[in-house]
Structure 1
Amino acid sequence: MPEPVIDILMYHSISDRSGPTCIPPEVFAGQMRVLAESGLPVISLDDLVASRDASVRLAPHAVIVTFDDGFQDFADAAWPVMEPLGIRPIVYLPTGHIGGAEGWRGGTEPPRPLMGWGTIRALAREGVAFGSHTVTHADLDALTGDMLEAELRRSQQEIADQLDRPVHHFAPPYGIAGDPVRRRVAAYYQTSVGTRLGQADAGSDLHDLPRLEMFYFTDLGHWRRHLDGRGATYLARRKAMRAVRGAVMKPWQGV
């Protein structure tokens, strides 16, 4: 029997802003509709972790939906589409920016607002999961010692305190996490997702999980073919193009 394949979808902002971290609301709605029509199960990262000791058996092809940064447009434009379809995502929060706006390199102008804790708590009650995206949206490879530990632990603890539930999942800003950082992340979190383009499987490193950047699937034909198992050639081409681009761009420019 083939190993299960897991598509971990990566979103940031659902808005009409320009750039690869923004998906127009009508395109996002189409992507979610195609996903629902595919019949593929949408699972959680907890399910993926549980599958490692056979507590949960994964379908041959499953999907996990993730959002980085906690932008207000998640509540305004994304969740109202997903909730009626029964799609439950995870949102990674940079806790130092909650209730404010993006203020990190690679952001847009004017800065996009982030959800406040009241909105986040309400979404958690409705079935949205939340993970950590550090405190300040820092490049973790540039930090060591107490500064790195603070970014990992303070964000985890604040989310846990605000939502009254443990926080097991992490996403490093910009997808940057070398081996030393991943070892520290693994000390606190059960999973960590990056920005490396690809599909996960039953043997993937839980602290270096690849994702599908959904900016590459704004053409719903490509998206439908991928979910039908007919998108290998397109995905391989995108990987090759991204590798070339990554050789000449800063890491945060390719997110």
Structure 2
Amino acid sequence: MPAAPRIDILMYHSISDAGGPTSIAPETFAAQMQALAASGLPVVSLDALADPGGLAARSVVITFDDGFTDFDQVAWPILRDYDFRPIVYLPSGCIGGAENWVGCNTPARPLMGWNRVETLAAEGVEFGAHSITHPDLAALDHDSLEHEVARSGHDISARLGQPIRHFAPPYGSSSDAVRQCTARHYATSVGTRLGVANPSSDIHDLPRLEMFYYTEITRWQAHLAGRGAAYLTTRQTLRSIRQAARFIRP
């Protein structure tokens, strides 16, 4: 019996020389995409998860959170050259401004304006919703949660003239209420849980690969070649330990 398809959902934020784990240097990103192209693995849309029977044994989805201007200026030209079609999750109320949420960089990184979003959509970039104001959705009351989740997609759809089918909660913060809310409005939702997706994954809490962990290109090449399981398990274990430590009180 053949193994279930595996889907690597890559998570990016900023492609720049800014500090912090949500920024990846342009030359590193270019090398990651070159390695992906050389691997021959198909790059697909999240819509492919709706028909897992049509998936290859392994495939890749490329995602970006927040919609920084460097996606347009740096990432997209590289992706376009390889004919890779990514999805970018937008905080709809922040378009054209700069990151201003908890945990953002200093200095703040600028976000794309609507004109560029519309142009990129026409060129083949897919867009998803990422709330309106980038809050911790799990901390919101019912009405605020519904507003942030539903209105974000409505606003983007109105500007682009196409349905918005996919969502990413800011910070990957989720709960039963958040998952139920996103399920009412979107076909899929991706989080920040580290892992590889498959057809049995919760389609409203899909794991992703944080690409900051794969800035060493030989490690990324090993993962693409199917030799990265031990490293991924180690990263998952270390992350679990860090998360558990947050709940320990001295």
Structures share fold, TM-score greater than 0.5: yes
Name the structure 1 match of 2:138.
Answer: 141
Letter in 2 for 1:197: L
For residues 195 and 51 of structure 2, the distance between their equivalents in structure 1, rounded to whole angstroms, comes to: 21
Distance 1:249 1:76, change over 3 A: farther
Letter in 2 for 1:45: L
Name the structure 2 match of 1:92.
Answer: 89
Letter in 2 for 1:46: D
Name the structure 1 match of 2:51.
Answer: 50
Letter in 1 for 2:79: M
- How big is each residue's C-alpha offset from its partner over 1:9-42, in whole Å with a ceiling of 9 and x where there is no partner? 0000000011110000000000000000000000
Name the structure 1 match of 2:205.
Answer: 208
For residues 187 and 245 of structure 2, the distance between their equivalents in structure 1, rounded to whole angstroms, comes to: 32
For residues 233 and 102 of structure 1, the distance between their equivalents in structure 2, rounded to whole angstroms, comes to: 35
2:182 corresponds, among 182, 185, 194, to: 185
* Structure 1 gaps, min length 5: 251-255
Q: TM-score, normalised by structure 1?
A: 0.95
Per the TM alignment, residue 145 of structure 1 is displaced from its structure 2 partner at its CA by: 2.1
Letter in 2 for 1:31: Q
Size of the aligned set, in residue pairs, is: 246
> 4+ residue stretches of structure 1 with deviation over 2 A?
247-250
Letter in 2 for 1:67: F
Q: TM-score, normalised by structure 2?
A: 0.97
For residues 27 and 111 of structure 2, the distance between their equivalents in structure 1, rounded to whole angstroms, comes to: 21
| Secondary structure in 1 matching 2:63 | strand
Matched, 1:20 2:21: yes
Superposition map of 1:1-255 within 5 A:
1-51=2-52, 54=53, 57-249=54-246
Q: Identity over aligned residues, as a percent? A: 57
Per the TM alignment, residue 249 of structure 1 is displaced from its structure 2 partner at its CA by: 4.8
Letter in 2 for 1:60: A
Letter in 2 for 1:247: A
* Structure 2 gaps, min length 5: none
- How big is each residue's C-alpha offset from its partner over 1:145-176, in whole Å with a ceiling of 9 and x where there is no partner? 22111101111101000000000100000000
- How big is each residue's C-alpha offset from its partner over 1:39-97, in whole Å with a ceiling of 9 and x where there is no partner? 0000000111233xx4xx10000000000000000001100100010110000000111
